[in-house]
Structure 1
Amino acid sequence: MPVSHTHPGPEAARLNKVMGQAGLCSRREADALIAAGLVSIEGETVTDAGRKIEPGQTLTLSEAASEALSEGVTIMIHKPVGLVSGQPEPGKIPAVRLLTAENRIGDGPVPAADASLPPIGRLDEDSRGLLLLSSDGVVAKAVIGPTSELDKEYRIRVAGELTDRALKMLRHGLMLDGRVLKRAEIVQLDKDRLKVVLREGRNRQIRRMCEMVGLRVTDLKRVRIGPLQMADLPEGKWRHLTPDERAALLAHRSAG
């Protein structure tokens, strides 16, 4: 599926630079795709990597370019509590251990035991829900790159009094590590449950935010990353990301 990106400006820039900054690919990959005639600006095929794109113009990666960039593997896991996202310390169990044929939902090969599949946006050991493991650098940039604006949605349960003041502070007004947090969407679902949507990912951010307003998180579950919904994927199970889901991630990476 072709992938498009509109250059936001504020001034003209080299095509390969814009492709890299947008998280579509690395600059080296951009140069190769452009040289192969797989990139266009406003419908015109471009073969010069130094070509500049003006603010408001749209570049498009052809379907062949998208296929060339999607050789990596991306896995969606419903991580249970008790497993760690990445490389474990002694005595800890990594989520990658779940990648067996017995736990697979749908088609696709089971990754090799020694496959490099780093987490794309971690979940703490005591949290559960949607976790992505990927060897696809383009997907990684789309989800956690410096220009990514993908939001992440959580369902949490808390202990403590959910006052109007606490909810207001959670939405906006807190600082972590000396920096003001971006505005969060906080919706009270019942007396002790909240829907939380974040556009950033500080270390243990939700738990620390709640502690600052006198609440303690007793359950934290991630249910969505950008356009990707965990939906009915059972706990402890995994599946491959589909080409359409990958394309949706790239399309939404800076949708705001």
Structure 2
Amino acid sequence: MNSKVASDVHNPSKNAVSTAKRLNKYISESGFCSRREADKLIEQNRVKINGQLPQLGTKVLPGDVVLVDGKTIKASATNKSDRIYIAYHKPIGITCTTERHIKGNIIDAIGHKERIFPIGRLDKPSEGLIFLTSDGDIVNKILRAENAHDKEYIVTVDKPLNERFIERMARGVPVLDTVTKPCKVSMESRYVFKIILNQGLNRQIRRMCEFLGYEVTKLKRTRIMSVELGELKPGQWRNLKPAEMAQIQAAVAHSTKTATINAE
């Protein structure tokens, strides 16, 4: 990689240091993608600052021209008034990817006029609530483990439930070389239970059920933090309300560790 950007072009004065912003943060705040995806773009030499290839960690200064694949990336509005935040009822069969060449991708399914991307994921055979946004910075914050965000699921299994199953699920079971954290589980009917997690291991609920000898036949996420799926039908979406955004912003104010919302 060309280190000239970091050494020659970016040798900011003391007055400019306070307004300098890390490149991945600048790109994510613009709504182009998440910080993690921005790092990948930088590593793939698809990003330029003032016509030169930057390094990871390079700072963007006022007046710098940032391009991704030749497209100018504009700085975000200070108050983020230009950002999109939506709640979507992902149907079964839709894949949570921004890769447009993949059939049934979530971006084409929604058809939003602005560039947005999902926060976390739901497996293709699962349905329910997922957030999408054009604010890459909040993606980074929501996906951090220490926020311990509640996520509520309604799960249907292939055989009758019993108290032992509910107790074991709530206490924690071994999956992926660890033991799941204690969680809230309640029986809704003979084959259906509700589970509230603040953990996001890959396919966590399905793996927990498999360990106990059950197979998930239907899984729906009904809540993330304070946001309910409510009356949204599969395929429908709505903008998050100001009160919901205020609660989310308060919940992510002290993030420190990265994880994912993909516990299905």
Q: Structure 2 CA distance, aligned partners of 1:192 and 1:144? A: 31
Worse-superposed segment, 72-81 or 207-216: 72-81
Tell me, what secondary structure is at the counterpart of 2:165? helix
The aligned runs of 1:61-210 (5 Å cut-off) are 68-69=79-80, 71-88=82-99, 92-100=103-111, 110-112=112-114, 115=115, 117-210=116-209
| Aligned-pair CA distance for 1:253 | 3.9
Change (3 A) 1:88 1:211: farther
Q: Distance in 2 between matches of 1:69 and 1:90?
A: 30
Amino acid at match of 1:160: K
Q: For 1:133, what is the secondary structure of its paired residue? A: strand
AA paired with 2:142? V
Match of 1:226 in 2: 225
Distance 1:202 1:254 in 2: 22
Alpha-carbon offset, residue 97 of structure 1: 1.7
Residues 116-168 of structure 1: CA deviation (Å, up to 9, x unaligned): x2221200000001011122234324421233211100111111242222211
CA deviation profile, 1:203-222 (whole Å, cap 9, x unmatched)? 11111110110111111000
**Counterpart amino acid of residue 132 in structure 1:** F
More strand by share: 1
Cα distance in 2 for residues equivalent to 1:88 and 1:159:
33
> Aligned partner of 1:165: which letter?
R
* Cα contact 1:153–1:222 (8 A) shared by 2: yes
- Note if contact 2:110-2:235 (Cα within 8 Å) is conserved in structure 1: no
Give the AA of the match of 2:236.
K
> What SS does structure 2 have at the residue aligned with 1:147?
helix
2:41 maps to what in 1?
none
Q: Distance in 1 between matches of 2:192 and 2:155?
A: 6
- Aligned equivalents of 1:71, 1:89: Cα separation in 2: 23
Q: Which amino acid aligns with 2:113?
A: P
TM-score (norm 1): 0.64
Amino acid at match of 2:228: Q
CA-atom RMSD in angstroms: 2.6
Answer whether contact 1:73 1:136 (CA < 8 A) is retained. yes
1:160 aligns to what SS in structure 2?
A: coil
Structure 1 segments of 4 or more deviating over 6 A?
none
Percent of pairs with identical residues: 33
Amino acid at match of 2:121: R
Cα distance change of structure 1 residues 87 and 137 upon mapping to structure 2, 3 Å threshold: closer
Shift, 1:237, TM fit: 0.9
**1:206 counterpart letter in structure 2:** I
One-letter code of the match for 1:154? Y
Q: Which runs of 5+ in 1 are unaligned?
A: 1-25, 28-65, 101-109
* Structure 2 CA distance for aligned equivalents of residues 239 and 89 of structure 1: 22
Shift of 1:252: 3.2
Task: Tell me how far 1:184 sits from its aligned partner.
Answer: 1.4
Q: Does the CA-based 8 Å contact 1:72-1:137 persist in structure 2?
A: no
| Cα contact 1:161–1:215 (8 A) shared by 2 | no
